[in-house]
């Protein structure tokens, strides 16, 4: 589907050509200024993402790729995830509680209990368990099993050094950022802002057209 900026540039170019061939100063002036404003902004946007021959400074992303990667890492590690929060007791408690709730709530207790029963049945206690009722007696242990598993996980989380988790997360971010290629970064930025930047082209067309009208008024 054609976008508005392309349509406005096309209309401006048609007006410019019509004004030239019809020798109509008014149409030519509006078309020329509008096209100049729109095409300049369109080219400026393209120069951010692509290298254009003979245009110095084009290919901003490609030329500054390593700095952009470092910037992405800095934003994630130092801005979004503030390590100083780990030294703040209130923040630390919130992180631990959220981590604890997330893990405990996401556990598949049924699967864990079934695995627990399999281990018991394969152990030296299997004969005793069968004499006492087999699966029926084991199933009665399920509520207690679930509660104890939750307590064990809670103890593990409470004894975990959050700085080690942070450092491990930083390693993951490093690896992920190192795998980025210029094309991947271009795609990320394009997906976020590319379509919105075409408003620059539209405003270029409109402001250019207004300047064309001003030019006509000064030449009447």
- State pLDDT tens for residues 72-104: 777 666 655 555 655 656 666 666 677 667 777
Q: How far is the CA of 34 from the CAs of 5, 19, 214, in angstroms?
A: 11, 13, 12
Instruction: Assign 3-class secondary structure to 83-150.
Output: HHHHHCHHHHHHHHHHHHHHHHHHCCHHHHHHHHHHHHHHCCCHHHHHHHCCHHHHHCCHHHHHHHHH
Using the predicted structure, report yes or no on whether residue 127 has a pLDDT greater than 80: no
Cβ proximity of 162 and 95 under 8 Å: yes
Instruction: Summarize the confidence of residues 141-166 as an average pLDDT.
Output: 72
Burial of 183 (0-12, 13-18, 19+ CB in 10 A): exposed
Using the predicted structure, report yes or no on whether residue 119 has a pLDDT greater than 80: no
Per-residue pLDDT at 17: 93
Helix axis angle, 142-158 to 89-106, nearest 10°: 150
Cβ proximity of 44 and 200 under 8 Å: yes
Which one is predicted more confidently, 84 or 50?
A: 50
When pLDDT is cut at 50, 70 and 90, the band that residue 1 belongs to is very low
- The residues spanned by each domain of the chain are 4-66+183-219, 82-178
Quick one: CA torsion of 170, 172, 174, 179, rounded to 10 degrees?
Answer: -170
Over the chain, what is the mean pLDDT? 75
Cα separation, 39 vs 55, in Å, equals 15
Instruction: Summarize the confidence of residues 153-167 as an average pLDDT.
Output: 66
């Amino acid at each position: 589907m054609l976008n508005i900026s392309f349509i406005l540039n096309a209309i401006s170019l048609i007006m410019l050509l019509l004004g030239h061939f019809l020798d109509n100063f008014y149409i030519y002036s509006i078309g020329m200024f509008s096209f100049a404003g729109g095409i300049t902004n369109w080219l400026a946007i393209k120069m951010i993402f692509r290298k254009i021959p003979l245009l110095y400074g084009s290919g901003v992303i490609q030329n500054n790729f390593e700095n952009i990667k470092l910037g992405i890492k800095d934003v994630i590690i130092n801005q979004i995830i503030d390590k100083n929060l780990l030294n703040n007791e209130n923040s630390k408690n919130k992180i631990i509680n959220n981590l604890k709730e997330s893990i405990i709530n996401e556990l598949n207790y049924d699967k864990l209990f079934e695995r627990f029963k399999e281990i018991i049945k394969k152990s030296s206690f299997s004969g005793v368990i069968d004499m006492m009722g087999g699966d029926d007696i084991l199933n009665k242990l399920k509520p207690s099993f679930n509660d104890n598993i939750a307590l064990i996980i809670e103890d593990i989380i409470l004894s975990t050094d959050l700085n080690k988790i942070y450092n491990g997360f930083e390693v993951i971010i490093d690896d992920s950022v190192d795998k980025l290629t210029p094309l991947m970064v271009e795609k990320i930025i394009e997906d976020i802002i590319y379509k919105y930047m075409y408003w620059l082209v539209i405003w270029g067309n409109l402001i250019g057209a207004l300047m064309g009208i001003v030019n006509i008024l000064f030449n009447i």
